[in-house]
Chains A and B, each alone.
Chain A
Amino acid sequence: MPLWKIAWRSVQRRSLASMLTAFSMALGVMLVVAVLLIHGIIAESFRNNASLGYNLIMGAKGGRLQLVLNTVFYLSEPVENIPYAFYEQYLPAEKRSDGKDGELADYVDRVIPVCLGDYYKQYRLVGTTPEMFDDYVYNEDTGDKYEFAEGRNFVQFDEEHGFFEAVVGAKVARDTGLKVGDTIMATHGSVEGDEHPDQFYVVGVLKSSGTPIDRAAFVNMEGFYLLDGHALPIKDETGTEGETPNATKIAEEAEIIDKSIPAAKRKRTPLAKERREVTALLVKTSPIISRGLSNMVNEGPDAQAVFPVGEITALFNRIVRPFQQILLILTAMICVVSGISILVSIYNSMSDRRREIAIMRALGAGRRTVMAVVLLESIILSMGGGFMGWVGGHALITAAAPRIEAETGVTIGPFDMAPPVNLLALMSDDPIYLNGQKFEEINVSTEWILIPGLMILAVLVGFIPALAAYRTDVADALTSNP
């Protein structure tokens, strides 16, 4: 009969106590697994969303992280703007009114402007160009593109809607009930700001992409510029801000008169370039060029360039990771406490099982054998509880998967594992060689580390009762009353 079966019988004989101790271990492991998985989800969400098809963000000089949070995650206080001419430097000839390539156009593969500052309800309203969604691969690893659940992308000018078309993210549509054909009106500057009277027509609802795009409404930048207060005041020859030109003044007066006419019909002339600004540029360029381009921009007076992945990783490492580590330590401590409950449970049963140990010894079992049986019992309880906890942790996350996907866009299946760690990096700085093959990293999901972790814990907590078994005086135990 294998020793594990003897240990298993012992577990069965004390079924209630065994179940309770295994359950406490299961609870600890369930929390550890849940924390590991959530850690993975947060990390993946951060990393995925930090680079939605671009590798540089250019915006007003100031807080780098604030620029990233604003333009990537649509969070934090709005930042200052940069000149429209700065944006035009990166535009190819076909996108410029003068028909000439911008002086820096050759250095970038793609540049998308974003204008921030307004809100639709509690969601950010983003003025941008149709390129934001036109055949735009936001995840180059998977080739994912933005898709529409309903309708189409907005266009720069539409006969019916003029410059006033909008598309909304999946979460915005879900939360507000917006659908194609509805209209939205922006509030200026903040959630509680004054509402712009001009309405945008929703022409598309995006499918959920699990990116911050889900949480925003996007309008045609040309229409965004035509909203009240979005145009820069005209400056005179000395650079002093002056009155708006007569033509505009007349037009504005006309609007006041014809209030019933929608902006789509009234405002059919784009805002002059010299009166425009953009909040930021999302730039896709080659990794080789990006560093030099970033240095050049940062040395210039107009803007700063930041690498969103770097900023987000720094934020993650500085703020999110320590919290997760504390949480992980706490849950690991729960496992240790559960382990101690195994120790107490087995140790308390030692007086009952003294006779059993003596019987085994009398039948020829060595001290080490009875010690092994007790250790195996501890391992069975730890691993059994650990397995239940692993299943429980995955069940917990699977149950929350729809919510997680809606909030973060990270899809998670019941058997998706927590992100891997490089075991080699934990052991040595040098690569290892196996059969002449060089290994620089051995990536293993943190969940797999639970197995040796639980084994070690089981051996540690089982050691004291196992030692008691080892020291059992056979003759004494056999002659004492059963």
Chain B
Amino acid sequence: MLKLKNVKKSYTEPNGDELPVLEIEDFELGKGEQSVLVGRSGGGKTTLLHVIAGISRPDCGSVMIDGLDITRLPEAGADRFRAERIGYVFQTFNLMSGFTALENVMLGMTFSRGRRDTQRATNLLEQVGLGHRLQHKPTELSVGEQQRVAVARSLANRPKLLLADEPTANVDPANQQHVIDLIRESCLNEQVSLLMVTHASEVANQFDRVDRLDEINKVVAQSATPE
């Protein structure tokens, strides 16, 4: 499903020096598989998710998703691919504040070629327990509810791969487990591969597969102290 090969990514520092962030020789995730990625802050976890999602381009290497190398697609193609095949749950939810919960989920469908399916958006919100909050704006929802809307939005286009970037970091402890369960169950139900980044060991402990960034990312492995 997901296959990274010799992926390197570096940033240019203000003084012009190159700062390597990622160097991954090989990383794979099977169809419907769920993996949690752990690593210290600044270890390139978010950069890795951005590279996988096609938001950032690697300096070299390939990122195969569902048999297609996203790095070889033109930018517009990568955008569309992301819209149709990849779901993304952000640490800060990133809901559009002017939109209702339903509209936020519909927004996920706007940029794909698929049908604008209001019924599916409604169903997804019902599945995450927000059937009664369809017309509420993010400011009218609790933090946990906002993250649930974000989860529903990420699944709107029936993605093949869901990337979750510390989805419980901003959620109160009482709701953290609920969000994790929700993401995992949803992925299971929809046969979606899941790659979740987290700091929290109690979250990581729930996954059968745990990938440590300091093991797969050579840059981290060669430099700093392990987490």
**CB pair A355 B110 closer than 8 Å:** no
Residues of B within 8 A of A132 (CB): none
Decide yes or no: A365 and B55 within 8 Å by CB, A478-B94, A482-B92 being known contacts. Answer: no
Beta-carbon nearest neighbor of B108 in chain A: A363
The interface residues of chain B lying within 8 Å CB-to-CB of A368 are 76
Comparing B59-67, B81-89, B183-191, the segment that makes contact with chain A is: B81-89
CB contact under 8 A between A1 and B76, given known A9-B98, A364-B83, A478-B90: no
**Could you say which of B50, B92, B103 contacts A1, with CB atoms under 8 Å apart?**
B103
Docked-complex contact B107 and A475, CB < 8 angstroms:
no
Q: Is B127 part of the binding interface, using a Cβ–Cβ cutoff of 8 Å? A: no
Q: Could you tell me if B80 and A364 are in contact, using CB atoms closer than 8 angstroms?
A: yes
The verdict on B112 contacting chain A, using a C-beta distance below 8 Å, is: yes
Q: Which of A12, A362, A365 is within 8 Å of B53, CB to CB? A: A362
Within residues 345 to 374 of chain A, which ones have a CB less than 8 A from any CB in chain B?
355-356, 358-369
**Contact call A362/B94, Cβ cutoff below 8 A:** yes
Q: Are A362 and B98 in contact (CB under 8 A)?
A: no
A355 to B46, CA, bound (A): 16
| Chain B binding surface SS class | helix
A368 to B94, CA, bound (A): 21
Q: In the bound complex, how far is the Cα of B79 from the Cα of A362, in angstroms?
A: 8
Question: Which residues of chain B come closer than 8 Å to A358, judged between CB atoms?
Answer: 94
Of B50, B79, B112, the most chain A CB neighbours within 10 A belong to B79
Per-position binary interface string of chain B over residues 96-121, scored 1 when its CB falls under 8 Å from any chain A CB and 0 otherwise: 11110001001111111000100000
Interface size on A, residues (CB 8 A): 26
Contact, CB under 8 Å: B55 / A12: no
Selected contact of A362 from candidates B55, B95, B106, CB within 8 Å: B55
For A366, give its contact among B56, B79, B103 (CB under 8 Å).
B79
Question: B88–A362 contact, CB under 8 A?
Answer: yes
Q: Let me know if B55 and A474 touch, CB within 8 A.
A: yes
Q: Are A364 and B111 in contact (CB under 8 A)?
A: yes
B227 beta carbon closer than 8 Å to chain A: no
Closest to B157 in A: A364
Assembly CA distance A478 to B76 (angstroms): 19
Closest to A2 in B: B110
Contact A365 B96 (CB under 8 A): no
Tell me if B140 counts as interface (CB < 8 A to partner A): no
Q: Decide yes or no whether B75 CB sits under 8 A from chain A.
A: yes
Q: Whole-angstrom distance from the CB of B12 to the nearest CB of chain A?
A: 13
CA distance A364 to B53 in the complex (A): 10
Interface size on B, residues (CB 8 A): 33
| Shortest Cβ distance from A365 into B: residue | B111
Instruction: Give Cα distance in the complex from A358 to B50, angstroms.
Output: 12
- In-complex Cβ contact of A361 among B47, B55, B98, B99 (8 A): B55
Q: State in angstroms the CA–CA spacing of A213 and B106 once bound together.
A: 67
B41-81 contacts to A, CB under 8 A, are 46-47, 50, 53, 55-56, 75-76, 79-80
Q: Is A438 an interface residue (CB 8 A)?
A: no
**Residue A313 lies at the interface, judged by CB distance under 8 Å to chain B:** no
Residue of B nearest to A367 (CB): B75
* Complex CA distance for A478 and B88, rounded to whole angstroms: 12
In the complex, A52→B107 CA distance in Å?
65
A232, B112: Cα distance in complex, Å:
94
The CA of A478 and the CA of B99, in the complex, are separated in Å by: 19
A475, B92: Cβ atoms under 8 Å? no
Residue of B nearest to A479 (CB): B46
- Whether B50 and A475, one on each chain, are in contact in the complex, defined by CB atoms closer than 8 angstroms, is yes
CB distance from B15 to the nearest CB of A (A): 18
Q: Which residues of B lie under 8 Å from residue A479 when comparing CB positions?
A: 46
- Name the distance in Å between A370's Cβ and chain B's nearest Cβ: 10
The docked-state distance in angstroms from the alpha carbon of A9 to that of B109 is: 17
* CB contact between B111 and one of A355, A366, A474, A475 (< 8 Å): that residue: A366
Interface centre among A9, A12, A362, A366 (most CB of B within 10 A): A362
Q: Is A450 an interface residue (CB 8 A)?
A: no
Please measure, in the bound complex, the distance between the C-alpha atom of A387 and the C-alpha atom of B110, giving whole angstroms.
28
Q: In the complex, which residues of chain B have a beta carbon less than 8 angstroms from the beta carbon of A364?
A: 79-80, 82-84, 111-112, 157
What residues of A have a CB within 8 angstroms of the CB of B106 in the complex? 1
- The answer on a CB contact under 8 Å between B50 and A360 is no
Interface contact A365-B97, CB-CB below 8 Å: no
Q: B80 contacts A9, CB within 8 Å? A: no
Least distance between A321 CB and chain B CB atoms (Å): 47
| A359–B80 touching, CB < 8 Å | no
Residues in B with CB closer than 8 Å to A362 are: 53, 55, 82, 88, 90, 94
Task: Say whether A10 faces chain B, with CB atoms less than 8 Å apart.
Answer: yes
| Chain A residue, CB-CB nearest to B105 | A1
- Which residues of the other chain, A, contact B95 by a CB distance below 8 angstroms? 359
Q: Which residue of B lies closest to A15 (CB)?
A: B98
Given A367-B75, A475-B55: A9 in contact with B50 (beta carbons within 8 A): no
B76 touching A366, Cβ below 8 Å: yes
**Which residues of the partner chain A approach B80 to less than 8 Å between Cβ atoms?**
364, 366
| Min distance, Cβ A95 to any Cβ of chain B, angstroms | 81
Q: At the interface, yes or no: A13 with Cβ under 8 Å from chain B?
A: yes
Q: Do residues A475 and B79 form an inter-chain contact, with CB atoms below 8 A?
A: no
Contacts of B157 on A, CB cut-off 8 Å? 364
| A6 in the interface (beta carbon within 8 A) | yes
Most buried by A among B55, B76, B111, B116: B111
A156 to B130, CA, bound (A): 92
Give the distance in Å from the alpha carbon of A13 to the alpha carbon of B47 in the complex.
31
Q: Known contacts A1-B116, A474-B55, A478-B55: does B79 contact A365 (CB below 8 Å)?
A: yes
> Which 5 A-B residue pairs are closest in the complex by CB-CB distance?
A364-B83, A364-B111, A13-B98, A9-B98, A366-B79
* Further contacts, 15 of them, CB under 8 A, given A356-B96, A367-B79: A1-B103, A1-B109, A6-B107, A13-B98, A355-B94, A363-B110, A363-B111, A364-B80, A366-B75, A366-B76, A366-B80, A367-B76, A369-B79, A369-B111, A478-B55
16 sampled A-B residue pairs with Cβ under 8 A:
A1-B103, A6-B110, A9-B96, A10-B98, A12-B98, A363-B83, A363-B110, A364-B79, A364-B83, A365-B79, A366-B76, A367-B76, A474-B56, A475-B50, A475-B55, A478-B90
